Amino acid sequence: MLGPLNNLPANARVGVVGGGISGLTFTYFLGKLRPDVKITLFESQPRTGGWIHSFNTRDKNGDPVMLEQGPRTLRGVSDGTVLMADILRDLKRQSAIQYVRKRSKANRKFLLDPNDNLVQVPNSITTLIKFLLNPLSKGLISGFLGERMRSAAGRPRGDESVHSFISRRFGNEYVSTNLVSAVFHGIYADDVKQLSARKVMGRMVEYEAKYGSILRGAKKSKQANGRQLTPSGLTPLVSLYQDAFEKDKYELARLCKDFGKYSMIGLTGGLETFTKAVSQELIKWPNVEIVTSKKVGKITLGKMSQQVTVSLGGGQISSGFDHLRLTTNPSSWAELFIQESKPLSELSNRATSNTVLLVNYYLPGKDVLLKGQQGFGYLVPQCDENVENLLGVIFDSVIEKNYKAYKPVFSRTSFFRTKKKKDYTKLTIMLGGHHLKYEANAPSKDITIRAAKYALHNHLGISLEDLEAGSWEFVTAKNCLPHFFVGYNEWQNQLESQVLQTYKAKVSLGGMGFSKGPGVPDVVTDAFQDVLKLTEE
Ligand X SMILES: C=Cc1c2[nH]c(c1C)Cc1[nH]c(c(CCC(=O)O)c1C)Cc1[nH]c(c(C)c1CCC(=O)O)Cc1[nH]c(c(C)c1C=C)C2
| Interface characters, 345-364, with ligand X (x: CB under 6 A) | -----------x--------
Q: Which of 131, 376, 424, 514 binds ligand X (CB under 6 A)?
A: 376
d(CA 294, CA 315): 12
**Which residues fall within 8 angstroms of residue 112, CB to CB, at 6 or more apart?**
118, 119, 182, 378, 379, 380, 381, 384, 459
| Interface characters, 104-143, with ligand X (x: CB under 6 A) | -----x----------------------------------
Q: Is 531 in the site for ligand X (CB under 6 A)?
A: no
**Which residues fall within 8 angstroms of residue 344, CB to CB, at 6 or more apart?**
337, 495, 498, 499, 502
Q: Is 434 in the site for ligand X (CB under 6 A)?
A: no
User: Which run of H or of E encompasses 365?
Assistant: none
- The torsion region of residue 425 among left (phi > 0), alpha (psi -120 to 50) and beta comes to beta
Q: Got the DSSP string for 217-257? A: HHHHHHHHTSS---TTS--HHHHHHHHHTT--HHHHHHHHH
Q: Which of 152, 187, 244, 369 binds ligand X (CB under 6 A)?
A: 187
Smallest separation (angstroms) from ligand FAD to the CB of 466: 24
Closest residue by beta carbon to ligand X = 519
Q: Is 73 in the site for ligand X (CB under 6 A)?
A: yes
| Interface characters, 293-332, with ligand X (x: CB under 6 A) | ----------------------------------------
Where does residue 229 rank: exposed (0-12), middle (13-18), buried (19+ CB within 10 A)? middle
Binding residues for ligand FAD, rule: CB under 6 A, are 17-23, 42-45, 50-52, 70-74, 295-296, 327-328, 332, 356, 358, 477, 480-481, 511-512, 518-521, 523
d(CA 333, CA 498): 13
Smallest separation (angstroms) from ligand FAD to the CB of 52: 5
Q: Which of 189, 301, 427, 460 binds ligand X (CB under 6 A)?
A: 189
Residue in 328, 321, 320 with CA at minimum distance from that of residue 296: 328
Q: In this structure, which amino acid lies at residue 324?
A: L
**Residue with smaller CB distance to ligand X, 60 or 103:** 103
Q: Which stretch binds ligand X (CB under 6 A): 143-151, 223-231, 390-398, 409-417?
A: 390-398
Smallest separation (angstroms) from ligand X to the CB of 25: 15
Smallest separation (angstroms) from ligand X to the CB of 415: 32
**Residue with smaller CB distance to ligand FAD, 275 or 341:** 275
Q: What number of chain residues touch ligand X (CB under 6 A)? A: 21
Cα angle value 403/409/411 (rounded, 5°): 65
- Decide: 466 and 366 in contact? Cβ < 8 Å: yes
- Decide: 395 and 377 in contact? Cβ < 8 Å: yes
**Residue with smaller CB distance to ligand X, 15 or 510:** 510
Q: How are beta strands 109-112 and 377-379 bridged, if at all?
A: parallel
Q: CB neighbours (10 Å) of residue 537?
A: 3
Residues that bind ligand X (CB under 6 A): 73, 75, 109, 185-187, 189, 264, 356, 376-379, 391-394, 430, 517-519
